[in-house]
Amino acid sequence: MSEVNSSAAESFSLTRGGPFHRILVRLGRAGNERRRVINRALFATLVTWLPLLVLSLVQKVAYGSQVNIPFLHDFAVNARFLIALPIMILAESGIDRKWRTLVLEFLRSGLVNEGELLSFGSVIEKTIRLRDRVFPEVAMIVAVYLSPIFLGKTELLMSGISNWHTTAAGAMTYAGWWFRLVSTPIFRFLLLRWFWRMFLWTTFLWRASRINLFLVATHTDMAAGLGFLSEGQKAFSSIVFAGGVVMAGSIANAIAYQDATLASEKFPMIIYGVLAVIVLVVPLLVVAPVLLNTKKRALLEYGALVTKHNQLFQTKWVRQHYDPHDNLLGNPDASSLADLGTSFSVVRQMRLVPVTKPTLITLALAAALPMVPVVVFATPTSELLRVVMRMLA
């Protein structure tokens, strides 16, 4: 492979760029080393969660009976800033490393031939330039503070129940102001950045699939050689889990403080799991047109090859005529007939979206796992014991 393109692929990153990253570099907090990543996650938690605790303690709404929902009893806010937010930061290095491995795989597997190396290098360069633009992150900040989507109720439990966000007189508490002006914007900004990175990855896949890749329809991954892309989406299971934690916290609040039941909240849980899987499969749809064309062409080519081979087999073994000059893949005997038939079957079974069942299962489990504590919390102890005894019987 070209040394230039290999170097570009080895340094490929969708997280090490953009205005926010440059600020982290100047502050000395950038880098994928484990210590730096942990420090960033810890710092974000201290900025978003610790002031809420301190301020709610000052105004005596952290615990006790002054409000119906004191800060330390708020499942949603504690799950969001103590679990989900650190996960979104800690996941950066692992997902970025996986993306870099997949980009290198295009070269290592021979999908990009010698004549397309410059085009592939251009795809990487365009993606990096898009990553480093200032406008997307500025737009995210504006959206976080000004978009009507974010101007409504900030929590699932805000209506009709006294909570740590407001005082008994109805005024916003100090913690409530910090939550609205600092903690929530930071969380939503980090979440939007993940959507932006997913868009960047989708753009890369779309551009890469448009160059003349050396795709082989009979590849055993059933995706013409692009099956490895499924691993990139599986790496997002940590982000799916983080989103599930936020959802589980809100549902726990609804059950604990709004008289909701597990049955009434079952629909949102299912919807989240389905949407999480769909959103992470969508980026792979951009390569579907290329795989469809590859499959159509291979069906015609292998169909003609199978027909020719079967004709030779019929002539030799059924009609007892044999022309030594008519050789196709060696002798047209039963063994080569079976091999060719297997290849044709692989072409027919080729997937148009390079996603595997293990990836779908992993994402579904990541969405479902945070809901387990909610199910346990909402299920009576006697019922849980009956279920356990039934499983052990």
What b/e string do you get for 377-390 counting C-beta neighbours within 10 Å, with b at 16 or more?
A: ebeeeeeeeeeeee
User: Which alpha helices (DSSP H) does 282-314 contain, by range?
Assistant: 288-313
- Residues 17 and 32 sit within 8 Å (Cβ to Cβ): no
Residue 32 domain-assigned (yes or no): no
163: which strand partners?
69
Residue 112 domain-assigned (yes or no): no
Both tokens assigned to 82:
């103590």
pLDDT along the chain (393 residues), means of 10: 66 88 81 83 94 94 88 94 95 92 92 90 94 93 74 50 80 90 93 94 94 90 91 91 94 88 87 91 93 89 74 66 54 56 79 91 93 83 65 60
Both tokens assigned to 262:
């597990």
Residue 253 domain-assigned (yes or no): yes
* CA dihedral over 238, 96, 277, 195, signed as positive or negative: positive
pLDDT at position 24, please? 85
Residue 158 domain-assigned (yes or no): no
Residue 88 domain-assigned (yes or no): no
What b/e string do you get for 245-272 counting C-beta neighbours within 10 Å, with b at 16 or more?
A: bbbbbbbbbbbbbeebeeeebeebbeeb
pLDDT at position 327, please? 54
Count up the domains in the chain and report the number: 1
Domain range spanning residue 289?
A: 215-393
Distance separating alpha carbons of residues 162 and 165, to the nearest angstrom: 8
Residue 285 domain-assigned (yes or no): yes
Nearest CA to 240 out of 287, 198, 179 is that of: 198
Distance separating alpha carbons of residues 204 and 1, to the nearest angstrom: 19
User: Which alpha helices (DSSP H) does 80-150 contain, by range?
Assistant: 85-108, 117-131, 135-146
Residue 322 domain-assigned (yes or no): yes
**What is the H or E stretch that residue 279 is in?**
helix 266-281
Both tokens assigned to 285:
């749809």
Query: Phi/psi class of residue 314: alpha, beta or left (left: φ > 0; alpha: ψ in -120 to 50)?
Result: alpha
Residue 100 domain-assigned (yes or no): no
Q: Which residues contact 42 (CB under 8 A, 6 or more apart)?
A: 86
Predicted model pTM: 0.85
pLDDT at position 341, please? 67
pLDDT tens across 295-327, in order?
A: 998 888 877 777 776 677 667 666 655 555 555
Distance separating alpha carbons of residues 308 and 314, to the nearest angstrom: 10
